[in-house]
Amino acid sequence: MKLKILILCCALLTALFALAGCADRKNEPGTSTTTTYADMTGNGTYDADERGIVDDDKDSDNSIIENMPESTGTRSTSDAIGTEEPKDVTDSGIVTGTSDTTGAITSDEAAFASSYISTMSFSENSIGWGLGKERDSENRPLDAVNAEKKYADLGARFLTSGEKRICLTFDEGYENGYTASILDTLKEKGVKAVFFVTGDYCKSAPELVQRMIDEGHTVGNHTWSHPSLPHCTQKEVWADITKLHDYVKNEFGYEMTLFRFPMGEFSERTLDDVHQLGYTSLFWSFAYADWDPKATTDPAEALAKIEASTHSGIYLLHAVSKTNAELLGSLLDYWSENGYTVGAEI
C-alpha cells in the first residue's frame, strides 16, 4: 500500500512540473500569438499580445500610445481598440483621463468619441483632387463619376444628381475687385451660385458676403486660414473649420452647410472629419487655370473651353479672374439655350 501511495505522489508531482513548464514556454520569445493592426501613418505596425495590450514597435520603450500626437495628425490606437481604461475625448480632440470630478462622460464628448473611433479605419494619405481627360457618354469626367461613388458615404459630392443640372461655384480666397460684377450678372440672369469664403475674405469684404446672403446665394466654408487639411491634426482641422463656421454665424446670422477643401487636398480621414461636423464636401467636375490673375486667358478662348466641357456637374470658377467676370453672362446664356438648369443645388 505504501508503495502504491509513493508511486501516485511521484506521478502527481511529474504532472505539476510539466504544466509549469508549458506556462513558462508561453512567455518565451516567438511562442505568443499576436494580432497586427495597420499603422495609420503607414510607418510600422502595432502588435497586440494575448492580453490585448497594444505596443508600438517603433517606440524604444514599447510604451502604449495613449494620446493623439498633435504634431503628426495621427490617432491613438489604444483607445480605439478598447484595451485600456476608457478615456474621455473632449470636443477639441484631446484625450484626457476624466471629463469632470465624477468621471462622467458628457454627451458632447461621447458624440465626438464615436467619431474619433470610427475614423481609425480611414486613410491619412493626402490626395490632390484633379481630373483626367476621359469622359463618359454624358460628357462627365470619369474621375468625377468614380469619386462620386467612392466617397459618397463620407459626404463628398463631385457631380450633380439631376439631368442637365449645373451647380455653379466660386472660390473666394481674397477679393480682387470682380465679385460685385459677378453678383450683378447673376442677379440679371436670375441665377444663384455657391461662394466658398475664407476667414480673411469675410473680414476684408463683409459687405460682399452680406450681399451674397441677401441675394439668395449659398455661402460655403473654405476654412478660416486655407491650410492643407491632410497635413493638419484632427484638432487643427476641427478648430479651423468651426472657427469660420462660428464667425459667419455670429457676424452674418448665417449657418453654412457646404464645405470645400483648400486646394482640393483631402484624405479619407479629413473627409470624415468634415462629415462629422455636419458638412457636405463639394468638389468639382470642371475647373480650369483661372486662379492666377497674372495668367490671363482670352475670354473667348476660355468660354469655348467651358462650353465644350458642358455636362451635369459642379463647376468651379475663381472670382479673382477678370476673364470669368467678363464671360459669365455669355456662359449662362449658352447653358440656358442648351436646356441646362444652373444654380446652387446639387
For the annotated catalytic residues, the residue numbers are 171, 318
**Neighbour tally for 301: CB within 10 Å:** 10
For 3, the grid coordinates are 508503495
For 206, the grid coordinates are 463683409
Contact between residue 307 and residue 334 where contact means Cβ atoms under 8 Å apart: yes
3-state DSSP assignment of residue 161 = coil
3-state DSSP assignment of residue 109 = helix
Question: CA–CA separation, 43 vs 60, rounded Å?
Answer: 15
Question: CA–CA separation, 273 vs 124, rounded Å?
Answer: 11
DSSP for 151-202 reads: HGGGTEESS-SSTTEEEEEEEESS--S-HHHHHHHHHHHT---EEEE-HHHH
3-state DSSP assignment of residue 55 = strand
For 330, the grid coordinates are 455669355
**Neighbour tally for 162: CB within 10 Å:** 12
Question: CA–CA separation, 97 vs 2, rounded Å?
Answer: 63
For 184, the grid coordinates are 450683378
3-state DSSP assignment of residue 273 = helix
- Best CA proximity match to 143, nearest among 338, 330, 306, 311: 311
